[in-house]
Amino acid sequence: MKITETFVSLQGEGLRQGMPCMFVRLAGCNLHCAWCDTEYALGNAIGVEMTAEEVMEAAIASGVSYVCITGGEPLLQKEELVPLVAAMHEAGVTIDIETNGTVPFGELQDYASVCMDVKCPSSGEMSDLSLLASLRETDTVKFVIGDEADYLYMVEVLAANPKLRAPVCITPVYGTDTKWLVETIIAEKLPVRFQLQLHKMVNVA
């Protein structure tokens, strides 16, 4: 599989925010979000070829028992990703998979938690909202909010999916004003988790 990078840092987002984590960033993406902060991972030609065994060895050598597989869009390499994640799970590794919500992920849910990043209008892209029904309590829904239109879109999506089981995390686009978003969440008493990107706040990868 094509890997852009592997590194150990703190998980900056989601339900395991703040935990030491080994990141495995797969190359290639089928979207091009306006505020993407990992554009270097978008092209399929970027990165190096690694076998599942080599990635597994790197994960074990890291000494960290929590792995986040991200991208790009990692599910574009699903054929190779499924056996890798199954092997990691068998070895006792806790796994999160971050996805843009355009590729079905059911084959991976026996082995990993899924974080579906629902694309809001300011991204210029769109997720497949039918995939929300596949998420479990151990998965996560993420909305990156850039402006009021994004916020209203998120409210609309949540209202249209009252049986959504996964917890919802809201992250503002990095560098934008957050006060209005915090005040609105409090005023409307939304059942969501507001998060800033911890890794950027403490200046680590």
Residue 115 assigned to a binding site: no
Residue 11 assigned to a binding site: yes
The number of domains in the chain is 1
Residue 96 assigned to a binding site: no
Give the CATH number for residue 22. Answer: 3.20.20.70
Residue 10 assigned to a binding site: yes
Residue 77 assigned to a binding site: no
Residue 70 assigned to a binding site: yes
* Lookup result for tokens 């969501």: 192
What pLDDT is stored for residue 40 in this prediction?
75
Q: What is the C-alpha to C-alpha distance for residues 128 and 135, in angstroms, rounded to an integer?
A: 13
Residue 165 assigned to a binding site: no
Residue 68 assigned to a binding site: no
Sign of CA dihedral 197, 134, 77, 153: negative
Q: What is the C-alpha to C-alpha distance for residues 167 and 184, in angstroms, rounded to an integer?
A: 19
Structural domain including 17 reads 2-201
pTM of the model: 0.93
Q: What is the C-alpha to C-alpha distance for residues 119 and 116, in angstroms, rounded to an integer?
A: 9
Residue 169 assigned to a binding site: no
Of 64, 63, 62, 55, which is closest to residue 85 (Cα–Cα)?
55
Residue 164 assigned to a binding site: no
What pLDDT is stored for residue 118 in this prediction?
98
CA 165 to mean position of chain CA atoms: 17
Q: What is the C-alpha to C-alpha distance for residues 67 and 97, in angstroms, rounded to an integer?
A: 9
What pLDDT is stored for residue 44 in this prediction?
65
Give me the residues of the chain with pLDDT under 50, please. Answer: none
pLDDT digits (tens, 9 = 90+) for 6-48: 999 999 999 999 999 999 999 999 999 998 888 877 766 678 9
What pLDDT is stored for residue 204 in this prediction?
66
What pLDDT is stored for residue 179 in this prediction?
93
